[in-house]
Structure 1
């Protein structure tokens, strides 16, 4: 890897069952689940009525009435997590040239709640064929354009540098972090606020996933509905949330005495150019992303201490991932502990890749591998060490996290404790 080394010096998280880094990590390390029946609206008409909702009060987290009115829930998540990340980093952004501060945010579906709410009002709850613009909110354009989320975050932290919105489906969050790391590495920015956000728990989103039977119908046991790599799994659980990071040049972070959670050693993305929702059974594209990310990081399979899986809880994905791990890691695929935090916080689409980066960094910080909750009956075809039910304490210095998304997107990132694999 050429160029400057990239340090993560601040983390902010809004997740189901854990608002803020401390509560988020407590949920994961204790193996608790945050999945439940949907409460945001009446889910009775839907096949899948389960979700992982974040108990998020924007006012309690410092947003004023005008900000709450102007911003979609996904934008609120992004701003709150960005502020937590900056505060935790100890960085005084007022002392940094604002044109050298960048923002990169990933989101799969943007301001979906705001758009759906405004459509309901302007169409009189769907009764009007022609929408009445007199009833639309003045901020409707902000909901229509996903880049408004990145703009809101930039305004919140005073960033005047490169501001980008990444939308690559369910890999959006980790892709945005990888892109932000590249801005640091190539010298285009000195500080980057990078992460992902999505708030997709809406009627239209539930209906879309119902149509393709991707989400679980296990409505009678919502707490245990998300079961990655388990033989009894029958679909994923929709979630919501955000994670943001302060990225800096490692040398600069050391000079100011910052706490470095981890370094980003390598990142790669690939696409299968095959099918919008289908995956090849051999896992070749994910394996290639893993291979390239590890080569960039100068990391061998034997160096890995933990692998944070995409682990959505669908048979197709879980078997595809298992094949990809075997293909890319060889014999070490059977040694390295693997887990899916979606078993606890659900699948928040474009946000989850960033939330999983946060989980990976905190695994390094605490020397703990979070578990795959609800894994009691392993699928015989998923015969790797998927860390069932209970967290595992062990030295965790080098972590691989992966993501997979509709459209064939496959991404991989290598994270390491400061000074590893240098």
Structure 2
């Protein structure tokens, strides 16, 4: 690993998302303003308040996973492996032969909010005979049941796949897990603890227990008769988020390391910060102070003026309090520029995949910077006086993006912000 001032660049991106189970299909969906939300097909949702979700049409075998990998891993790990393969392929790093790769300098930073919830629920149904037995019969449990219990299995699988011998961790901070995992990976590079970090997040929470959890707090949309238009961030008629699933993985590299091997640099990570409001498990103060503090800290690290931001990828969950909270945060941190910069939420199209969505949104920002296009907020039709910014309604917009800000807000009071720029911008 090299010394001196260190910068973090992105050299590969991989995505598994609803409506687009690879990077290009995902971007095509976003720029078309299409939605991937529908009635749940994974189980019968008739008894649930919210019966809709954004499901991935994912075939692990077609994604290149072996029968053994499919058997031992929950769906959320399968997503991560597929996304990582795509990101590694774009980066040009050769982890198989090891040529030009110092495996001791390769780290893994993955995020997940709920881990192997789907596998655990399925396994419990088997060992308890669908809940009939309080004392479960372990003989019927999978030999990989323990691997489903511990979220660290995610980092282990990714590390083993690419022989990453550096630091490996799973970040679980609710809905900011993806942003925080990428931010942690960035910090590993800046601190000199790694030259390459496989960073991202994944979640597969569309299961009865997960849907019941969010039904209980009425956080999800009950617009079951119009699934395609149910996710409507910042719209005056919004009634909650639509559950989603998916993964995104980025290859982060120290800038000089990427330059020496002639890698194509997609963008640069210039600043990251997170905060906790220490206020309420699910509640948010309407003034947006905590998110604004995270944005300001990320701007300070990046040494970027707020007026230089060309696009804001909002958390935009579609809950009344979140959209109001972050609108206030943008005004507080960006000043009058908040009214001029385009702001959008891709959750309107791919739903809210809990811990994964932050990484998926960072992937969208990378594409936005590269292509000069801002994805829209689909389904935005009715203005809300408390949400009065430019939310790029319904249609993508050609717009030069030299600097992109992506933010996240999670239950538990977590607030995170990350800044990405064009390669070499402002240096």
SS in 2 for 1:363: helix
Unpaired stretches in structure 2, ≥5 consecutive residues: none
The match for 2:108 among 93, 103, 110 is 103
**1:287 matches 2:289:** no
Offset at residue 264 of structure 1 (A): 0.2
369-378 or 90-99, larger mean C-alpha shift: 90-99
What pairs with 1:64-143 in structure 2 (closer than 5 Å)? 64-93=66-95, 94-95=98-99, 96-143=101-148
TM-score under structure 2 normalisation? 0.98
Q: Which residue of 2 aligns with 1:53?
A: 55
Q: Which residue of 2 aligns with 1:386?
A: 391
CA distance in 1, matches of 2:262, 2:192: 21
The match for 2:371 among 362, 366, 370 is 366
The match for 1:193 among 185, 189, 198 is 198
Offset at residue 255 of structure 1 (A): 2.2
Offset at residue 258 of structure 1 (A): 1.1
**Aligned partners of 1:161 and 1:189 also within 8 Å:** yes
TM-score under structure 1 normalisation? 0.99
SS in 1 for 2:110: strand
Deviations 1:237-282 (A, max 9, x none): 0000000011101122122221111100000000000000000110
Deviations 1:365-417 (A, max 9, x none): 10000000000112121000010000010111100000000000000000000
**1:237 matches 2:242:** yes
Quote the RMSD (CA, aligned, Å): 0.8
Q: Which residue of 2 aligns with 1:377?
A: 382
**Aligned partners of 1:102 and 1:163 also within 8 Å:** yes
CA distance in 2, matches of 1:282, 1:395: 30
**Aligned partners of 1:298 and 1:421 also within 8 Å:** no
Q: Which residue of 2 aligns with 1:212?
A: 217
Deviations 1:75-106 (A, max 9, x none): 00111111111011111231212111100000
SS in 1 for 2:201: strand
Offset at residue 302 of structure 1 (A): 0.9
**Aligned partners of 1:3 and 1:186 also within 8 Å:** no
Q: How many residues align?
A: 421
CA distance in 2, matches of 1:83, 1:378: 41
CA distance in 2, matches of 1:281, 1:398: 26
Q: Which residue of 2 aligns with 1:30?
A: 32
CA distance in 2, matches of 1:174, 1:142: 24
**Aligned partners of 1:83 and 1:157 also within 8 Å:** no
Offset at residue 190 of structure 1 (A): 1.1
